Amino acid sequence: MDEKEKNTGIKLEYEIIKDDFSRAGEASSNIKRVLRQLGIDSSVIRKTAIATYEAEINVVIHSEGGKMVVNIEPDKIEITAKDNGPGIKDIDQAMQKGFSTASQKVRELGFGAGMGLPNMKRSCDEFYIESEFGKGTTVKMIFKL
């Protein structure tokens, strides 16, 4: 975990570990804490909490691990979740509500409803997703302040 302040804003960086359900949500909780300390509007905090949680869970469940980077600037919060693969075959399909490739075991825990990506998209002001099958996925979300 790396927290450093720049002239332009604050950058937070979190490692997310594959299959680590016990720690899943910690990065999101930390981000929320920082945003609250900065006095960010509570409706924006709620939206970022939903989006970061879903992004974090997606990396834990579906990827080989990755990281989440948060840039807090005076006029916006930019959140990037980048994983190390395996990538998404069909992004349009992945963006559909209810579509999921999660295992039965994961579903029994209440995950894998196929709502992660739609929830992220709905929560932020700008949403970008790039994925290369075999390589990895990057999701970028912007929240205006």
Partner 1 sequence: MLIKDLRDKFGFKVLAGEDVLDREINGLYCCDLLSWVMSHAKDGDAWITVQTHMNIVAIASLLNLACVIVPESIDVDEDTIVKANEEEVPILSTDIDSFKIFTKFYEAGMR
- Per CB under 8 A, contacts with partner 1 among 114-133 are 114-116, 119, 122
In the complex with partner 1, which residue's Cβ is closer, 54 or 83? 54
81 binds partner 1 (CB under 8 A): no
User: Amino acid identity, residue 110?
Assistant: G
107 is catalytic: yes
**Gap between the Cα atoms of 125 and 128, Å rounded:** 10
Smallest gap from residue 92 Cβ to partner 1 (A) = 19
| 67 versus 122: smaller Cβ distance to partner 1 | 122
Draw the binding track, 95-114, toward partner 1 (x: CB under 8 A; -: no contact).
--------------xxx-xx
86 counts as binding partner 1 under rule CB under 8 A:
no
* Residue 38 makes contact with partner 1 by CB under 8 A: no
Residue 84 is among the residues annotated as catalytic for this protein: no
> Helix axis angle, 42-62 relative to 116-123, nearest 10°?
150
Tell me which of 23, 33, 36, 107 is the catalytic residue: 107
Judge whether 19 and 43 are in contact, CB under 8 Å. Answer: no
**Which one, 98 or 134, has the nearer CB to partner 1?**
98
Nearest to 83 by CA among 140, 143, 39, 9: 140
Burial of 47 (0-12, 13-18, 19+ CB in 10 A): buried
CA 83, CA 108: separation in Å to the nearest integer? 24
CB 63 within 8 A of CB 86: yes
**DSSP code of 25?**
T
Instruction: Using CB under 8 A, list all residues that contact partner 1.
Output: 21-22, 24-26, 28-29, 32, 46, 49-50, 53-54, 57, 109-111, 113-116, 119, 122
